Structure 1
Amino acid sequence: MHRNVLVIVTTAAPKCAENEELSECANPCQPSCQSPNRKPCPTLQCSSGCI
């Protein structure tokens, strides 16, 4: 007998700082106020976060 299991995980959207907005596909290696000299990502990446 086989059982199918569906798992749903939800998380609260992060709170972005002033002058930032939430993006579903942001480059995680782009410069920021905290890391203005961040090196570019070696490959194209996409992650959800504040930009």
Structure 2
Amino acid sequence: MDSDERFFRRRANEELAAARRAVTDAARDRRLLLADRFMERLKAVETGCVTAD
């Protein structure tokens, strides 16, 4: 599961960085939504509560 944790953490960070660079509010909001989803999945993996989406 370590690789899942790294993947979700990396993707969340990438989306947060993209949100900071976003030109429009809509783009920023989409990136923040994606970052939130990756953080939720990261938390699920860390707690062992993985669910299929």
Higher helix share: 2
Higher strand share: 1
Q: Which has the larger radius of gyration?
A: 1
TM-score normalized by the length of structure 1? 0.23
TM-score normalized by the length of structure 2? 0.22
